[in-house]
């Protein structure tokens, strides 16, 4: 079956999470992604847990479907090999600190001379042209400076969003940008330079928070699980656990009032419009909470599902892994990982193409696994020359 990115070759210089997550998307959908790592060292995530048989499940997850080579880009021979590969490739991805590629003599202007159609795709912490540009960044730094921690958690205790969303959103944005640039290249014949900033990414997903400030001069604060613009839209406690419900319309709220036996709330001036419910939410939450505590989560689910009100039990990760829509959508991929030496189960891709195979093709590469094959088949370097390169520490 032909996947969307079949025939696209990507040189992947990325490490840690954001960049490898981007190239994972490309590899999952057919691109030939060649992951380039430092000889005898490799990506830092090869040491990140969970570990099994001295190998990383984390690395196995975000580097599936990729080829792997080692190459010393600080050596002149290594740089030449890299530039020769650029000539034969469509995309170069990197997420080094700003200025690193230029310091190596491998910046965009150099690569463009070698291959004018190349798509150069990078992720930075803070963008390219400001006083923060060359500072190091991880997800938690971007979450803090981008503003999302300030609106997450509780008023007296701000917290980061659990997963590394600055990384995975930036990676997904970059994969989208690569697809756009490849389309542009088909039309114009021109390559592109793309940068996605992790701080920009966080800022872009703040939803109403930015316009609350820019339009209303309000600085939003954390609201725990509630939505500050819609009510009721929150988490509640049943007798045996937590659930969420979402009444995004007056009609949903009226149905909820009927089910709670509180029909008078429909015309109560505190609650008769969405904004009135938002402005008087503490009183409304107490009413709903007192009703919910009479029932188990399962009983609440039966009541609300029966009348079509959006409802969700708060699943832990085990429950999420066994949730029917996750299973039915093939969101758990089983792969035999060569480094771990057994099958592992990792999250699949949420991007589904009808009539296209949805599953892993290859496991993540062991360090340098495909070096000989890539150098020989793409660049025509013979086994004797490869042995010499290995002896010199180039690969």
Report pLDDT digits (tens) over 333-387.
999 999 999 999 999 999 999 989 999 999 999 999 999 999 999 999 999 999 9
E strand segments, 205-348: 233-237, 242-246, 311-313, 332-337, 342-347
pLDDT tens digit sequence for 35-91: 999 999 999 999 999 999 999 999 999 999 999 999 999 999 999 999 999 999 999
Q: What is the pLDDT of residues 272-281, one digit of tens each?
A: 999 999 999 9
Structure pTM? 0.95
The residues spanned by each domain of the chain are 9-205+329-391, 233-313
CATH architecture designation of domain 233-313: 2-Layer Sandwich (3.30)
Candidates 167, 234, 337, 370; catalytic one = 167
Backbone angles phi, psi at 48, to 5 degrees: -90, 140
| Pairwise CA distance, residues 371 & 361, whole Å | 19
Q: Which fold has domain 9-205+329-391?
A: Rossmann fold (3.40.50)
Strand ranges for the chain from DSSP E: 9-12, 32-37, 51-52, 55-56, 66-70, 91-94, 119-124, 153-154, 157-158, 192-197, 233-237, 242-246, 311-313, 332-337, 342-347
206/301 Cα distance (integer angstroms): 30
- Both tokens assigned to 149: 């921690």
Task: Give the per-residue pLDDT at 190.
Answer: 97
Asked if residue 150 has pLDDT above 90, the reply is: yes
pLDDT (0 to 100) of residue 1: 77
DSSP states of 177-191 as a string?
HHHHHHHHHHHH---
Our answer to whether residue 167 is catalytic in this structure is: yes
Judge whether 51 and 74 are in contact, CB under 8 Å.
no
């Amino acid at each position: 079956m032909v996947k969307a990115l079949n025939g696209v070759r990507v040189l992947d210089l990325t490490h840690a999470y954001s960049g490898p997550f981007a190239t994972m998307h490309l590899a999952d959908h057919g691109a030939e992604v060649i992951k380039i790592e430092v000889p005898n060292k490799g990506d830092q995530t090869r040491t990140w847990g969970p570990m099994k048989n001295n190998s990383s499940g984390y690395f196995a997850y975000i580097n599936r479907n990729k080829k792997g080579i080692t190459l010393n880009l600080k050596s002149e021979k290594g740089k030449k090999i890299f530039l020769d590969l650029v000539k034969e490739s469509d995309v170069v991805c990197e997420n080094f600190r700003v200025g690193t590629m230029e310091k190596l003599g491998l910046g965009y202007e150099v690569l463009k001379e070698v291959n004018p159609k190349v798509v150069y795709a990078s992720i930075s912490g803070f963008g390219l042209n400001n006083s923060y540009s060359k500072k190091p960044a991880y997800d938690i730094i971007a979450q803090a400076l981008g503003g999302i921690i300030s609106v997450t958690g509780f008023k007296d205790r701000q917290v980061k969003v659990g997963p590394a969303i600055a990384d995975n959103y930036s990676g997904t944005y970059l994969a989208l940008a690569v697809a756009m640039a490849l389309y542009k290249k088909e039309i114009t014949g021109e390559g592109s330079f793309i940068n996605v900033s992790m701080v920009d990414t966080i800022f872009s997903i703040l939803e109403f928070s930015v316009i609350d400030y820019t339009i209303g001069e309000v600085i939003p604060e954390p609201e725990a699980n509630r939505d500050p613009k819609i009510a009721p839209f929150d988490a509640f406690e049943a007798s045996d656990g937590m659930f969420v419900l979402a009444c995004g319309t007056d009609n949903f709220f009226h149905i909820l009032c009927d089910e709670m036996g509180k029909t008078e709330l429909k015309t109560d001036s505190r609650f008769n419009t969405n904004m009135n419910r938002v402005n008087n939410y503490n009183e409304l939450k107490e009413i709903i909470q007192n009703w919910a505590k009479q029932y188990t989560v399962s009983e609440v689910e039966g009541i609300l599902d029966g009348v079509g009100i959006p409802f969700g039990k708060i699943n832990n990760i085990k429950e999420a892994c066994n949730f029917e829509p996750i299973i039915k959508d093939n969101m758990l991929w089983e792969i035999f990982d060569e480094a771990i030496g057994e099958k592992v189960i990792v999250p699949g891709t949420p991007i589904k193409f009808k009539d296209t195979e949805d599953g892993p093709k290859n496991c993540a590469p062991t360090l340098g696994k495909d070096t000989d094959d890539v150098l020989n088949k793409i660049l025509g370097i013979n086994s004797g020359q490869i042995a010499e390169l290995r002896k010199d520490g180039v690969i």
